A and B are shown apart, each in its own frame.
Chain A
Amino acid sequence: MSILTLTNVSYKYEGTKKNVLAGISAQFEPGKAYAIVGKSGSGKSTLLSLIAGLDVCEKGEILLGGSDLKKIDRDAYRAKSIGVIFQSFNLITTATAIENIVLSMNISDVKDKNKKAIAYTLLEKVGIDDEKADRKVLKLSGGEQQRVGIARALAHNPDIIIADEPTGNLDTDTENAILDILIKLAQEEDKCVIIVTHSKKVSSAADEVWGIQKGKMHFVGNGDK
């Protein structure tokens, strides 16, 4: 059973004429990792923001389970059901890494008492030590900010994780570690993981690889596992 079903999704930015997405259909299942590939400007981030419920498509529909994203409370959907790792991090730069994660957990209404401890553990998993965790995001490197963004996306334990170039700013070792975490989330915790990537390593680790071209999405193949 698919957790996300896209049927004939089309999208066009306000004030532009060309459809960035022109009739995309796909199904995403829990327990699987998906890689989405495509040229720069092909619309990968746009698709992810629709899946993330940051905007709604003009034509077609995106179903979460059986319900149309257009019709449900998308704030609650973003807060609880989905974790987004943004290409440009989207962290609150004047706050510390820990504060970013705890705030996100608060927004998601995470009930755990010791949110800070959970946040430190998560950050440690993505390679951010306690000293850096207490630093303002502004004073972290691009790769470090990337990892804070990953930790934040996982902090409220969502069913769906979407990641926009999560390893784009990382060295090989860290890339491997992050990839490992994401794949394990699918395999061991039955999450639905969707990763937009240019990296061969990432796409070969995924269960399914899809390509976007000229507003359409097509199946490329299964990963090389």
Chain B
Amino acid sequence: MYIIKNAVKNIGRNKGRNSLMAIIVFAIILTTAVSIIINTTTAAIITDYKERFGAEVSINAAFDKLQTQEGVRNYKELTPQQQIEFGESDLLQSTNLSASMEISPRNLSALSESEMDDLINDFLSGATRADGTKNPETVPIKGQIIATDSPEENSDFESGTRKITSGEMYKNLNECMVSEQYASLNNISVGDIIEVDSYYENEPMTHSLTVTGIYMDNTMLGSKPDELLPIENRNNEILTSFETVVSMEIFEEYGKVSAQYFLKDPTLLSAFEKELREKGLADYYEVTTDEAGYQKIVGPVEGLAKVTNTFLIVVLILGALILILLSTLAIRERKYEIGVLRAMGMKKWKVALGLLTEMFVITGVCLCLGLGVGMVVSQPVADSLLANQIELIQESNTDGGVPASGGTGVGEAVFTSSNEEPLSEIQVDLSLNAIFQIVLIAFSLAGIASVAGILRTTKYEPIKILMDRN
């Protein structure tokens, strides 16, 4: 196709004008490339963050709503059943359920148990109070059952604070693990069945569990068991599955659930709240998400994305204007040449194709250079912009405390995003998506720039162009 060939030759024929054009196109593509490379990277980081950590939802009673008499009268704690039900939502990325339940096994001894406790208990149990009523018959608390819904993700075993020394992790219903000390104190070995009882009553509810494994707790190594209460001694903890604990009769009365809900996306909060209300969540509970924690980590990256986005838009608008102006000027200069081609019988569309080819070839060359240079400079640019953002956020955050952790009910949250440090490093990367966007933008700009000139030229009859020659 001679038109293409001629167009390529033409670029060389007008070195001055085309160099100027190339420099401007290069500058636009370079800034676009840097912005888009940073942008796609930050977008990927943000999505990744959202996916990995979701957004933790907090369900807390609102104090101001409980201040009224009516509020106090109506107040009910969330039941374990409610907490479990709340976790069954499509809007959630994950739910961490854990439970604890204080127990008093009659046939088992507990570590850190002291005669003093028994004495005090005996003294209070069943005693007559000042008003004539009687204290309930009780036995002291001798430990607790701890249950998690996914034992393989149990943080104690993951971090190594606890280790299985014999047997294996519970798998099925009514299986459990006990500590080494507890096992030797009570002469338990793997495969034995133990009975756990509720405390507080002389006729307790009882449940049987099969011991499948024995663990060792590192955190207890240096502590003095005598100075602890049985409930404080982690070696008294009987570990079992959430499923098991929920199935226990004792649980209905004494079990406590701690639930963490992680939304797929922070924006789903209101939808999730609506769902909770439909499931019967009273209005004196507030449903919030750990926005502040999320902001602290992802904020700088989002700020960076905003800066580069604004920058990109400004560059594109300015760039497009400059290109249109430049190519309009260039076309005016080339009117004569176009008149000659038309006089020799070249069709308008072929003239236009030639002009377009020239612009596209220039753009193509600049695109390769721009992508290459852009790749090299976008990392330092991103680093310095991100550092700025972190500084900005830290300045505005100096008096704001660490946001409250999410979760519901008792127990400590296993994970809260606010413990995380803000993202202070990003590794920019030239993704296929970024390349595609840059190429698209570059050629759209080239197209816009050419069209402006082409429209001006082809509306003239050749004689008008040639007759203006002198």
Contact = CB atoms under 8 A, between A and B. Distances in A.
Interface string A10-36: 000110000000000000000000000
Interface of A: 13-14, 49, 52, 54-55, 75-80, 84, 86, 88, 90-92, 94-95, 99, 103-104, 106-108, 152
Which size class do B's interface residues fall under? 20 to 34
Contact of B343 (A13, A14, A80, A90): A90
A75 B345 CA distance: 4
A78 B461 contact: no
A79 B13 contact: no
Given A49-B463, A94-B13, A78 B470 contact: no
B229 interface: no
B337 A92 contact: yes
Main secondary structure of the interface of B (DSSP, over half): helix
Contacts of B469: 88, 90
B6 A103 contact: yes
Given A54-B461, A55-B462, A152-B344, 5 more contacts: A54-B462, A75-B346, A86-B343, A88-B469, A108-B345
B347 interface: yes
B340 interface: yes
Contacts of A94: 10, 13-14, 337
Nearest to B341: A107
6 contacts: A54-B462, A75-B342, A78-B343, A79-B344, A94-B14, A106-B2
B466 interface: yes
Given A90-B339, A94-B13, A99-B9, A79 B461 contact: no
Given A90-B339, A90-B340, A106-B2, A80 B345 contact: yes
A34 to B, nearest CB: 21
Contacts of A78: 343-345
Contacts of B340: 90-92
A132 B220 CA distance: 99
Nearest to B345: A79
A80 B346 CA distance: 11
Nearest to A76: B345
Interface in B1-51: 2, 6, 9-10, 13-14
A173 B285 CA distance: 108
A99 B406 CA distance: 77
A69 to B, nearest CB: 13
Interface in B133-168: none
Contact of A54 (B13, B14, B341, B343): B343
Given A49-B463, A54-B463, A88 B343 contact: no
B297 to A, nearest CB: 59
A76 B10 CA distance: 23
Contact of A52 (B14, B343, B347): B343
A224 to B, nearest CB: 33
A159 to B, nearest CB: 14
A79 B466 contact: no
